[in-house]
Amino acid sequence: MVVKVIIPTPLRAYAAKQESVELQASTVGEALASLTSRYQELRKHLYADDGRLRSFVNVYVNDEDIRYLQKDQTRLREGDTVSIVPSIAGGASD
Amino acid sequence: MATKTEIAVTPAANQPLATLSKEEVLRYSRHLIMPEVGMDGQLKLKQAKVLCIGTGGLGAPLGLYLAAAGVGRIGIVDFDTVDFTNLQRQILFSSEDVGRPKIEAAKERLRGLNPDIEIRAHEMRLTSENALELFKDYDIIVDGTDNFPTRYLVNDACVLLKKPNVYGSIFRFEGQTTIFGYPDGPCYRCLYPEPPPPGLVPSCAEGGVLGVLPGIVGSIQAAETLKLIIGKGEPLVGRLLLFDALAMRFRELKLRKNPECPVCGNHPTVTHLIDYAEFCGVRGEEAPAPQVTVPEITPRELKSRLDRGDDLFILDVREPHEYQICNLGGYLIPLGDLSRRASELDSSREIIAHCRSGKRSAEATEFLRKAGFRKVLNLKGGILAWSDEVDPSVPKY
């Protein structure tokens, strides 16, 4: 299954400045594993030491949060978009 | 989500129904002739009470549009003063305002725009001690802060008081907007149960922001606030709106209420406001910086040692585009590359690490010392201090 993974601005520095990456995967877990093996620096930003996805990073398949699907096991279909959406705080002063 | 839950505006019970003066009818005529607002909507706006947290990049367009629209009471919270780096995006302020308290300049500007409304200026840092008392006097809270501790504080206070929280946040050229704390809707903790550990996500000061981006995101927050007040349209509830100015693309993701959410879930464990600095790992963007203490050298000491001809290796750990702004002629290895490129350094030489403010280079110094480099010093205060104390021709940014 070819899917597109969208990499958010704060994490692009760890993914060769790519905005998105197309890769082969049949589950969300596979897609992220493939992504982080391609860009190893990304791993510590996506996963905590215990191997779980960090709680300030959400992952969506199309517009649905994988926490409400089958998490890492969520199946992907051809052409799906996987979005990584971390929390950002900026707004006011400097 | 039920559509027309009217939320806002608690018309003061003992007050006569508001009316518009002749001048107000003229001022708001472009609202009044629109059926979606009309006289009813405009009177709701007049009776509405909105609190804007932060008068910076997001708070500027927000405050301006709410004031222009005739929101009857606008509260503004800030404790900062205007500086030159704010003017690139904080359009409430003009060059003459540099050095003034933001709250004072903002109040003046909003009052100038609309003298008929009440502007309450709260010059304070929002804390767990004062938030509930402050929020009590408002119908809607709009979050335009710049740091995680305050965002979790605003969220929890809004959930506890059952007030909607119109949320916006930005980074470089990307923004996120939604409404939290709506009846039966999700809250910030449903979206992100915990903040990132300090240092893992860069702040605007470190990451930069396209000046117009907060203008767009803050305007979306203003639009959602006005819609909540007049009770029209489809509020941005249960949907996270993502905006990418570089691609010029909006995307929408589903946002669900988490039944296990510690503050708004079925069995809440957070039932009062907590210590948010601690929750966010102390630092936040505003807490005093260095969590590591490393050996330092002041700019003046460095200058005199260089003048003496000491053999010092200047290591600049900023990013290449920062090096282009100004530099001390140092050897450039961005902090993020340091672990990979440490072998380029000679451990027998004395190394002076520096960055813009001394924060990143403190991390670099710590890292290098642990990696066996014995003679590493951090330039205290970075290039900013160098410019202040040694060479004012070096621009600050």
Q: What is the pLDDT of residues B320-356, one digit of tens each?
A: 999 999 999 999 999 988 988 999 999 999 999 999 9
| Average pLDDT, rounded, for chain B | 91
Strand B49-53 relative to strand A64-65, pairing: unpaired
Asked if B242 has any chain A CB less than 8 Å from its own CB, the reply is: yes
Task: Tell whether A93 is covered by a domain.
Answer: no
Identify the CATH homologous superfamily for domain B22-279: NAD(P)-binding Rossmann-like Domain (3.40.50.720)
- Asked whether B289 and B147 are in contact (CB, 8 A), the reply is no
Give CA B189 to chain center in angstroms. Answer: 17
Res B1 pLDDT > 80: no
Residue B120 C-alpha, separation from nearest chain A C-alpha, in angstroms = 18
The pTM of the full predicted model, rounded to 2 decimals, is 0.84
What length does chain A have? 94
Angle at B385 between CA A10 and CA B201, to 5 degrees: 15
Nearest Cβ partner of A86 from B201, B247, B251? B201
Q: What is the pLDDT along chain A (94 residues), one digit of tens a residue?
A: 999 999 998 888 889 889 999 999 999 999 999 999 999 889 988 998 888 888 889 999 999 999 999 999 999 999 999 999 999 887 643 3
Residues of A with Cβ-Cβ distance to B122 under 8 angstroms: none
- B146–A93 C-beta distance less than 8 A: yes
Going by DSSP bridges, is the β-strand pair A64-65/A57-61 parallel, antiparallel, or unpaired? antiparallel
Residues on A contacting B at a C-beta cutoff of 8 Å: 8-10, 13-14, 19, 41, 45, 54-56, 58, 60, 63-65, 67-68, 83, 85-94
Residue in B57, B86, B176 closest to A88 by CB: B176
> In chain A, how many domains are there?
1
Say what the pLDDT of residue A92 is.
44
Residue numbers in A near B242 (CB within 8 A): 85
What is the mean pLDDT of the segment spanning B179-207? 83
Work out the percent of chain B whose per-residue pLDDT is above 90.
84
Task: Verify whether the Cβ–Cβ distance A8 to B174 is below 8 Å.
Answer: yes
- The nearest alpha carbon in chain B to A54 belongs to B196
Q: What is the mean pLDDT of residues B264-268?
A: 95
- Which amino acid is present at B203? S
User: Residue B288: which pLDDT band, with cuts at 50, 70 and 90?
Assistant: very low
Higher local confidence (pLDDT), B7 or A45 = A45
pLDDT, tens digit, 9 for 90 and up, residues B292-329 = 689 999 999 999 999 999 999 999 999 999 999 999 99
In this complex, which of B204, B244, B254 lies closest to A63 when CB atoms are compared?
Answer: B254
Closest chain A C-alpha to B299 CA, distance in angstroms: 24
**Residues of B labelled as active-site residues:** 204, 355
Segment B178-186 mean pLDDT: 95
CB-nearest partner of A64 from B201, B242, B254 = B254
The whole-angstrom distance between B325's CA and the closest CA on chain A is 18
- The domain ranges of chain B are 22-279, 296-389
Report yes or no: B214 at the A interface, CB cutoff 8 Å: yes
Query: Which chain B residue lies closest to A19 (C-alpha atoms)?
Result: B247
E strand or H helix at B288, and its extent?
Answer: none
Q: What is the pLDDT of residues B104-149, one digit of tens each?
A: 999 999 999 999 999 999 999 999 999 999 999 999 999 999 889 9
- In B258-301, DSSP assigns E strands to 296-297
B3: pLDDT strictly greater than 70: no
Instruction: Tell me the CATH number at A51.
Output: 3.10.20.30
User: HSE-up of A31 (CA within 13 Å, CB side)?
Assistant: 33
**CATH classification (class only), B296-389:** alpha beta
pLDDT score of B16? 54
Report the complex ipTM.
0.91
| DSSP-assigned letter for residue B12 | -
In chain B, what residues touch A19 (CB-CB under 8 Å)? 247
B327 with B319: CB under 8 angstroms?
A: no
Residues of chain A with Cβ-Cβ distance to B51 below 8 Å are none
Q: B59 to chain A nearest CA, in Å?
A: 7
B336 has a chain A CB within 8 A of its CB: yes
How far apart CA B252 and CA B160 sit, in angstroms, is 27
pLDDT value at residue B287: 42
Distance between CA A10 and CA B73 in Å, rounded? 36
| Nearest one of B156, B133, B163, B167 to B7, comparing CA atoms | B163
| Phi, psi (degrees; rounded to nearest 5) at B311 | -85, 100
Determine the Cα–Cα distance for residues B360 and B373; give it in Å rounded to an integer: 17
**Structural domain span for residue A10:** 2-86
Question: Sign of the C-alpha dihedral, residues B27, B31, B35, B40?
Answer: negative
Q: Quick one: pLDDT at residue B146? A: 87
Rounded alpha-carbon distances, angstroms, from residue B167 to A91, B53, B145, B179, B191: 10, 10, 9, 6, 12
Assigned token pair, B378: 């951090």
B297 CB-side CA count, 13 A:
24
